[in-house]
Amino acid sequence: MKLIAFSGSLKVAEGEPEQALPDIRAFIGAETDASLLVLNHQTSTMLEIDWSQPDDLITRSLAYQAGEAPVQQRQGRGRPKLGVQSREVSLLPRHWEWLSRQAGGASAALRRMLEAARKSPKVQLEEASLSVDRFMQTMAGDLPGYEEALRQFYRHQYGTMFTEMADWPEDVQRHVRALVGEVQTWRQASEPDRRH
């Protein structure tokens, strides 16, 4: 999981935890009273970090927060611990019947279906769009032109959107543009091929 860290509207660090954490720690050491906001680069969600912990524990905590925690190795008999959680799922009898016929049983079939759905261009487009919305709300919600820029984003009028952002701090503008680029990539991937 990549991080991006801001102090006010100034970008402090960006990259994988191994790259970003030393830069963030250097900033914290030099600017003891400065505020710091660390976001998941992909989703723009705020990350909770305990800076009293060493970097390796922070990296593991971030992987857990992102759902990327490593699989634990099997110790002794039984199945390995996969971080699996049991919750109730309500389905019709025909759904349970179909799932029970799938390789690996119902749980394995549901996991495969969910992973495939998560990787689909349509879902990636939705998640990329939400990331733009979250980042803009967090970093630009009080800036002039925010509401109109967001409106233009959802109308896919990116040139007009960027014009509305022209007076925003440079680091904020740059990251919004990068996130919008991701949206455009997934929008193209999710559109049906019109050549046929």
Long-range interactions of 164-171: CB distance < 8 A, separation 24+: 165/140, 167/143, 168/9, 168/140, 168/143, 169/9, 169/10, 171/6, 171/9, 171/10, 171/11
CA angle (116, 122, 128) in 5-degree steps: 105
Q: What is the mean pLDDT of residues 21-37?
A: 93
pLDDT band at 14 (very low <50, low <70, confident <90, very high): very high
List the single range of 28-32, 83-87, 141-145 with lowest mean pLDDT.
83-87
Residue 79 in this model has a pLDDT that exceeds 70: no
Q: What is the mean pLDDT of residues 63-71?
A: 67
Quote the pLDDT of residue 9: 96
Quote the pLDDT of residue 73: 47
Quote the pLDDT of residue 116: 81
Model's pTM, two decimal places? 0.79
Q: What is the mean pLDDT of residues 48-73?
A: 80
Q: What is the mean pLDDT of residues 149-174?
A: 98
How far is 172 from 170, CA to CA, in rounded Å? 5
Quote the pLDDT of residue 110: 84
How far is 133 from 154, CA to CA, in rounded Å? 9
pLDDT band at 75 (very low <50, low <70, confident <90, very high): low
Residue 38 β-bridge partners? 5
Tokens of 88: 């109730």
